[in-house]
C-alpha cells in the first residue's frame, strides 16, 4: 500500500512537469560568481553539470532528486582554481624531506637524517623548502655536514623557490659536476677552491637528470596523495606550470581510467621535444585535461638573487641577476607560438625580465588581442612598464602569498622605492580588468584561504603586518574570489566550462563553514572546507 502511494506520488510529480536531477542542494548561500556576482540559495545538478540555479522555491518547484542536500546556510563558491601551481611537484614533495620552516641549517640536516632513517629504501634523498634568509647570518650553507653523514648516498636539497639547491659530494660526483665548470643560466658556488654544493638555477639540472625516473605505480601514488590534500582544501582545478610530454601522457591515462579526478590545465615545459610534439598535435582537451600552453623561464627568484633587475640589487652592488636564456631564445619561442594556437606563459620576476618579455610579447601580439599570453609572477614591474600589459592584453598571473612571504626581506633586495612596483596586484588588475590568482605550491602552502587573506588584507598567517603590506595594491574580496575562480579559468581559456556556477557549466564547487565575503580578516584562516564536489560528485567531506 505504502509503495503504491509512493509510485502514485512520483507519477503525480512527474505529471506536474518536474525534471529529475542527480543532486539538489538548497538552503545555501551560493556565490555564483556570474557576471553580476549574484547569490543564489539552491541549485540542481545532472550529469556532472549545473541544470539550474536560483532560489529554493524556483529549484524545488522545477526539479526532483533522490539526493537532496540541506546545506543549513553553508556558503558555496565555485571550486577553487589555482592558476599557477606545481601539482606533480607538490605530490613529489610529499615524498621528500620537508625543509620548510627550518630555523637553522643544522635543523635542516637533522630532518634529512631522520628522513633517511625512516626511508632506507630510497637510493637518493631529495628535500625541499630550505631558505637561508630565515637562518642566522642569511648565508648559503655548504655541504660539509651532508658529506659526513652521507658519504655513499646522494643527497639533493632544493631551496624554497626551486631556484637553488645544495648537493652532497656523492650527488655532485654522480652528476659529473666539477670545479671551475661554467653553465649557461646557472652558477656552481665554490669556497676556498672547493665546491660548496650550492647550485644556482640551471646548475642543478645535471643532478636532477641523474636521479632515476619514478615508476608508474609510484607516480599514481604521488598524484593521488596530492589530489587528496587539494580536494580537502577545496581546490578542483589546477594549472600545472611546466611538465614534460611523458608526464602529460601519464596524467591523461590516469584521468581516463578514473584514477585521477583533479582537473588540470597543463603548461608544457620549454623543451625542444615538447615543442616539436605539441605544435604538430595542437591544443588538446578532455573532460579533465587541457594542454594549450608553454611555460618559459626568463629569470630566477628574488630570494636567491636570481631575479633579473634593471639596476643593481640594493644588498649586492654590482649584481643585477641574469636572464636564464638568451633574448634570441625567447624571441624564437614567441615566433613559434605566435604562429600556433598555444599560449606563451613566461616566468618573470625582476623588472628587467618583465621588460624583456613584455617587449617580445608586444612584437608578436601587436596591440590588443585575445591570445592570453601570460607573465607568471610579474613580481617587480618598472612604473613605465605596467601599461604594456594592457596595451598587448598580456595576462599577469600572480600569487598573493609570495607578497606576504617575501615582504620580510624584499626591501633589502630592492630598496623602498623599487618595492612599490613589486607585488602590485591591484595595479596589474587594472590593466586588463581581470587577474588570475595562484599559490605556486609547493613553493607556498596550498591553502586557498592564505591566498585570499594575502590578496585582500595583505597579511600573512601570523596577521603580520597589522596594517597590511603596501595596501594600495590590496584586492577587494569580490576581485579575490574572481581571481581564484572565473579569472583563473579564463587564464587557461576554460571560462566557458569552469569558474562560475551557472547552467551548463561543470558542477565543481566547495562548501565552507563561513562566508568569506562577510567574516573579519582574523576569521579567514579559521574557515573550514565542509565538502568539495567535482563534476557533481563529492570528492571530500569533512569529518
Ligand atoms: Zn611556479
Q: What DSSP string runs through 125-186? A: EEEEEE-GGGSGGG----SHHHHHH-SSS-EEEEETTSSEEEE-HHHHHHTT--TT---TTE
Q: What is the pLDDT of residue 492?
A: 98
356 CA → ligand 1 middle, Å: 19
Q: What is the pLDDT of residue 15?
A: 46
Q: Which of 21, 22, 19, 39 is nearest to 30 (CA)?
A: 39
Residue 202 C-alpha from the chain's centroid: 21
d(CA 520, CA 71): 22
Asked if residue 476 lies in contact with residue 435, where contact means CB atoms within 8 angstroms, the answer is no
391 CA → ligand 1 middle, Å: 25
Q: What is the pLDDT of residue 417?
A: 94
Element (H, E) at 473: none
CA dihedral 401, 271, 275, 81 (to 10 degrees): -20
267 CA → ligand 1 middle, Å: 11
118 CA → ligand 1 middle, Å: 29
- Which residue carries 581559456 as its cell? 493
Q: Which three cell numbers stand for residue 141?
A: 650553507
Q: Where are the alpha helices (H) located in 194-303, listed in sequence order?
A: 205-210, 216-232, 245-256, 272-281
Q: Which of 438, 412, 414, 416 is nearest to 425 (CA)?
A: 438
Mean pLDDT of the chain: 95
243 CA → ligand 1 middle, Å: 11
Q: What is the pLDDT of residue 4?
A: 54
85 CA → ligand 1 middle, Å: 6
Q: What is the pLDDT of residue 213?
A: 84
Asked if residue 260 lies in contact with residue 289, where contact means CB atoms within 8 angstroms, the answer is no
88 CA → ligand 1 middle, Å: 12
- Which residue carries 549545473 as its cell? 50
d(CA 343, CA 370): 10
272 CA → ligand 1 middle, Å: 20
Distances (CA, A) of 106 to 103, 223, 296, 507: 8, 31, 35, 48
For the stretch 454-487, what's the b/e string if a residue is b when 16 or more beta carbons lie within 10 angstroms of its beta carbon? bbbbbbbeeeebeebbbeebbbebebbbbbbbbb
Q: What is the pLDDT of residue 1?
A: 47
Q: What is the pLDDT of residue 430?
A: 98
Q: What is the pLDDT of residue 120?
A: 87
Q: Which of 448, 446, 405 is nearest to 423 (CA)?
A: 405
536 CA → ligand 1 middle, Å: 29
44 CA → ligand 1 middle, Å: 36
Residues of the chain with pLDDT under 50: 1, 15
Across the strands, what pairs with 224?
none
CA dihedral 518, 520, 526, 528 (to 10 degrees): 0
**Which residues touch 39 (CB under 8 Å, ≥6 apart)?**
29, 30, 31, 32
Across the strands, what pairs with 226?
none
| Bridge-based pairing state of the strands 194-201 and 186-191 | antiparallel
Q: Over the Cα atoms of the chain, what is R_g?
A: 24
Residue 92 C-alpha from the chain's centroid: 15
321 CA → ligand 1 middle, Å: 18
83 CA → ligand 1 middle, Å: 10
144 CA → ligand 1 middle, Å: 30
* CA atoms 343, 80, 522, 440: torsion sign: negative
d(CA 502, CA 238): 20
* CA atoms 75, 79, 83, 87: torsion sign: positive
Asked if residue 323 lies in contact with residue 308, where contact means CB atoms within 8 angstroms, the answer is yes
- Count the neighbouring beta carbons within 10 Å of the beta carbon of residue 179: 10
d(CA 425, CA 402): 11
Task: Give the length of the chain.
Answer: 543
347 CA → ligand 1 middle, Å: 8
CA dihedral 323, 451, 294, 354 (to 10 degrees): -30
82 CA → ligand 1 middle, Å: 11
Amino acid at each position: 500500500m505504502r509503495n503504491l502511494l509512493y509510485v502514485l506520488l512520483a507519477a503525480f510529480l512527474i505529471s506536474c512537469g518536474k525534471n529529475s536531477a542527480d543532486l539538489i542542494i538548497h538552503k545555501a548561500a551560493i556565490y555564483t560568481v556570474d557576471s553580476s556576482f549574484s547569490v543564489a540559495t539552491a541549485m540542481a545538478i545532472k550529469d556532472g553539470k549545473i541544470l539550474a540555479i536560483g532560489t529554493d522555491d524556483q529549484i524545488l518547484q522545477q526539479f526532483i532528486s533522490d539526493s537532496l542536500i540541506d546545506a543549513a546556510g553553508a556558503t558555496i563558491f565555485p571550486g577553487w582554481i589555482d592558476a599557477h601551481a606545481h601539482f606533480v611537484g607538490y605530490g613529489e614533495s610529499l615524498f621528500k624531506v620537508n625543509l620548510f620552516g627550518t630555523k637553522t641549517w643544522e635543523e635542516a640536516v637533522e630532518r634529512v637524517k631522520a628522513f633517511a632513517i625512516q626511508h632506507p629504501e630510497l637510493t637518493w634523498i631529495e628535500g625541499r623548502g630550505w631558505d637561508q634568509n630565515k637562518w642566522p647570518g642569511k648565508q648559503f650553507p655548504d655541504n660539509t655536514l651532508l658529506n659526513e653523514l652521507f658519504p655513499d648516498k646522494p643527497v639533493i636539497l632544493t631551496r624554497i623557490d626551486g631556484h637553488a639547491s645544495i648537493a652532497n659530494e656523492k650527488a655532485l660526483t654522480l652528476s659529473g659536476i666539477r670545479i671551475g665548470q661554467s653553465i649557461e643560466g646557472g652558477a656552481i658556488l665554490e669556497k676556498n677552491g672547493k665546491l660548496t654544493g650550492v647550485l644556482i638555477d640551471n646548475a642543478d639540472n645535471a643532478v636532477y637528470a641523474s636521479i632515476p625516473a619514478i615508476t608508474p605505480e609510484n607516480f599514481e601514488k604521488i598524484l593521488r596523495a596530492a589530489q587528496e590534500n587539494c580536494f580537502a582544501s577545496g581546490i578542483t582545478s589546477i594549472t600545472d606550470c611546466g611538465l614534460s610530454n611523458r608526464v602529460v601522457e601519464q596524467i591523461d591515462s590516469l584521468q581516463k581510467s578514473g584514477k585521477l579526478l583533479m582537473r588540470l590545465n597543463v603548461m608544457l615545459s620549454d623543451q625542444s621535444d615538447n615543442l616539436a610534439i605539441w605544435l604538430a598535435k595542437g591544443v588538446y582537451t578532455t573532460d579533465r585535461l587541457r594542454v594549450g600552453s608553454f611555460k618559459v623561464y626568463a629569470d630566477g627568484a628574488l630570494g636567491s638573487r636570481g631575479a633579473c633587475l634593471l639596476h643593481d640589487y640594493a644588498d649586492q652592488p654590482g649584481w643585477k641577476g641574469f636572464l636564464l636564456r638568451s633574448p634570441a631564445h625567447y624571441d624564437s619561442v614567441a615566433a613559434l607560438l605566435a604562429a600556433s594556437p598555444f599560449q606563451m606563459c613566461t616566468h618573470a620576476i625582476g623588472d628587467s625580465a618583465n621588460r624583456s618579455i613584455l617587449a617580445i610579447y608586444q612584437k608578436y601580439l601587436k596591440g590588443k588581442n585575445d591570445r592570453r599570453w601570460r607573465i607568471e609572477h610579474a613580481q617587480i614591474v618598472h612604473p613605465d612598464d605596467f601599461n604594456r600589459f594592457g596595451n598587448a592584453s598580456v595576462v599577469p598571473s600572480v600569487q598573493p602569498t609570495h607578497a606576504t612571504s617575501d615582504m620580510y626581506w624584499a626591501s633589502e633586495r630592492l630598496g623602498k622605492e623599487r618595492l612599490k612596483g613589486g607585488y602590485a596586484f591591484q595595479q596589474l588588475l587594472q590593466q586588463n580588468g581581470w587577474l588570475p590568482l595562484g599559490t605556486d605550491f609547493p613553493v607556498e602552502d596550498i591553502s586557498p584561504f592564505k591566498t585570499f587573506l594575502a590578496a585582500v588584507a595583505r597579511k600573512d598567517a601570523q596577521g603580520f603586518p597589522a596594517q597590511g603590506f603596501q595596501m594600495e595594491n590590496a584586492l577587494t574580496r569580490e576581485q579575490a574570489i574572481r581571481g581564484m575562480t572565473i579569472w583563473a579559468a579564463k587564464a587557461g581559456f576554460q571560462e566557458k566550462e569552469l569558474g562560475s556556477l551557472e547552467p551548463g557549466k561543470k558542477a565543481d564547487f566547495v562548501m565552507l563553514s563561513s562566508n568569506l565575503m562577510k567574516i573579519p580578516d582574523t576569521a579567514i584562516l579559521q574557515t573550514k572546507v565542509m565538502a568539495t564536489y567535482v563534476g557533481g560528485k563529492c570528492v571530500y567531506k569533512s569529518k
